[in-house]
Structure 1
Amino acid sequence: MTNTDTSVQAVAALAQQALAPKEVEPGGIYLVATAAGHVERVDLTGPEYTGTLARKTGVTVVRDSASFLTYYGKHKDDASEVYSDVEKLSVTAVLDAHAADEPGFGEHRLTLALRRTKAWTEWLELDGKLVDQDRFANFLEDHLPNLVDPDAATMLEIAQSIKATTKAEFQSSSRLQSGERKFVFTEDTKTSAGARGDLQIPETFRIAVPPFEGADAYSMTARFKYRLNGSVLTLGFKLEQPEERAKAAFTDVLNAISEGIDTPVLNGTPA
């Protein structure tokens, strides 16, 4: 056998050895020679091979302070950071934040995203608007649980009085010494001697509405508004600083979180 034949057999043997299957261990990185003469990198370090995640990642969204504290208490470490944003009404925890002596990934986060209640949203949607008598009366009737002063029973009577005069022609309005607003109307407009009457509505009333799901109700003054356009009466209200009430409710939520954690809450937004 010539030296050339020996060299060919040696190369063939190495090629066969490279193609022969071999058992590998999960968790390692291997270089594999292919029949085409290339070298491929095989990475078996992923969780699908090892059955273990390298680190915690993802963003968890909760809707109340109790849920925030539960999740935070389970996953926090000594480097965890908490940020609050009063404009966005949100609280964010970076659970794997940078430590003082080593970096963190910052990829495991917890966010408290408060949801406005249906009642709060509906009061704000009508805030500052003037609507016809029927719609205004129906709104009061639908939101009786939110009315505190005058009480719900009194406001129901007012709503029913407003409904009863939807076809009347209003002629004038005046402010009474009690602070109420009186509207004079004529019910039967077909004759000059039509039945006359008056409708009295309080100048202000108070409501109590929870701004967020899971929050306490916050009280606000609503100032009665009206417009007498000819004989047509439109009604509405203007809420007293509703966004300030929402921020006050957020501050109470933030205080509950601050009392339940052992790290200061930073004012801002994490990078």
Structure 2
Amino acid sequence: MADKTEFQAKIEHNLALASMGGVGFDRNAYGQYAVVPDGHQLQSLEKFQDRPNNIKTDHRFVSAKSFSEYLTRFFTDSMLITASSDKAQMYAVIDYHDADPECGVVLPSHGAHKAIYTARKTDKIKAWLSMCNTPLGQIDFGLFLEERAVDVIQPMAAEIMEMVMQFEATKKVEFKSSTRLADGSRQFSYVEDNQTRGGITLPDKIIVRAPIYQGMEPQDIKFLLRYRINEGSLKF
């Protein structure tokens, strides 16, 4: 980067050329300009250079791997990376302001070379999260479990399907009470046709194995199950 003395000399040199009716242009130089008479428009000469003065781009990524590879390729000592958990984003300014290592003076930069990574949730996780804080009846919850059983690692698939069949078999019964067992599961007692008594036992949690964000490795995620009896019906 030219210091102030060199830059001032360049200005004076170009002004002298302009006063003589000629303007020099170097295709390999940066930050060139033209001095024009009053009433004329000042035009940048950057587009005629072999290379632009600086990189101006705003790349956006949905792959953490691609984002990391891009930052590695264009790494600079002045690079700044920030993150937002609310937006699930990482924001990088590759040509951020720097500091002179000798005197500590801040060397401003354009901050025009940027890269943004936005983490996107996978369809699997979005499906499970859509059920959170959404009251469901036992039939609707059973249909959801039947559809998403492939994601579940605990309870086993056979136990999940047994739950689904129990929900179907008890859709017309009247649930009366529930008892928490030692292992955390719950046992629900019901009455059918005001005579037959029975019960079903349901787990207190379901563990799903799935990647949270696209491009990430799968991990185990625990979803807690909450039940309540409402007017004889079982709600989730």
Identify the residue that residue 230 of structure 1 maps to in structure 2. Answer: 231
RMSD between aligned alpha carbons?
3.0
Answer whether contact 1:29 1:41 (CA < 8 A) is retained: no
Identify the residue that residue 43 of structure 2 maps to in structure 1. Answer: 43
Measured after TM superposition, the shift of residue 108 of structure 1 is 0.9
Is the aligned partner of 1:149 residue 2:148? no
Answer whether contact 2:93 2:112 (CA < 8 A) is retained: yes
Identify the residue that residue 107 of structure 1 maps to in structure 2. Answer: 112
Measured after TM superposition, the shift of residue 219 of structure 1 is 2.4
Listed one character per residue, the Cα deviations across residues 84-133 of structure 1 (whole Å, up to 9, x for unaligned) are: 34454332221111121322111111122111122222322322443111
Q: What are the residue-to-residue correspondences of 1:126-141 with 2, within 5 Å?
A: 126-141=131-146
Distance 2:119 2:61 in 1: 8
SS in structure 1 of the partner of residue 146 of structure 2: helix
Identify the residue that residue 80 of structure 2 maps to in structure 1. Answer: 81
Identify the residue that residue 96 of structure 1 maps to in structure 2. Answer: 95
Measured after TM superposition, the shift of residue 178 of structure 1 is 4.8
- 1:155 counterpart letter in structure 2: I
Distance 1:233 1:107, change over 3 A: same
- 1:110 counterpart letter in structure 2: A
Distance 1:181 1:55 in 2: 65
Distance 1:173 1:28, change over 3 A: closer
Answer whether contact 2:145 2:160 (CA < 8 A) is retained: yes
Measured after TM superposition, the shift of residue 169 of structure 1 is 2.2
The TM-score with structure 2 as length reference comes to 0.72
Identify the residue that residue 61 of structure 1 maps to in structure 2. Answer: 60
Q: What are the residue-to-residue correspondences of 1:159-198 with 2, within 5 Å?
A: 159-187=164-192, 189=193, 192-193=194-195, 195-198=196-199
- 1:105 counterpart letter in structure 2: H
Answer whether contact 1:130 1:225 (CA < 8 A) is retained: no
Q: In structure 2, which of residues 115, 118, 121 is the aligned counterpart of residue 116 of structure 1?
A: 121
With CA pairs under 8 Å and 6+ residues apart, which has the higher RCO, 1 or 2? 1
- 2:52 counterpart letter in structure 1: L
Answer whether contact 2:64 2:119 (CA < 8 A) is retained: no
Identify the residue that residue 10 of structure 1 maps to in structure 2. Answer: none
Answer whether contact 2:65 2:215 (CA < 8 A) is retained: no
SS in structure 2 of the partner of residue 156 of structure 1: helix
- 1:203 counterpart letter in structure 2: D
The structure where helix makes up a greater share of residues is 1
Larger radius of gyration: 1
> Identical aligned pairs, as a percentage?
24
Unaligned runs of 5+ residues in structure 2 are 1-23, 101-106
Distance 1:111 1:163, change over 3 A: same
SS in structure 2 of the partner of residue 205 of structure 1: strand
Distance 1:71 1:223 in 2: 39
Distance 2:115 2:232 in 1: 57
The TM-score with structure 1 as length reference comes to 0.64
Listed one character per residue, the Cα deviations across residues 113-160 of structure 1 (whole Å, up to 9, x for unaligned) are: 111122222322322443111111122122213211211221121122
Unaligned runs of 5+ residues in structure 1 are 1-23, 33-37, 236-271
Identify the residue that residue 203 of structure 1 maps to in structure 2. Answer: 204
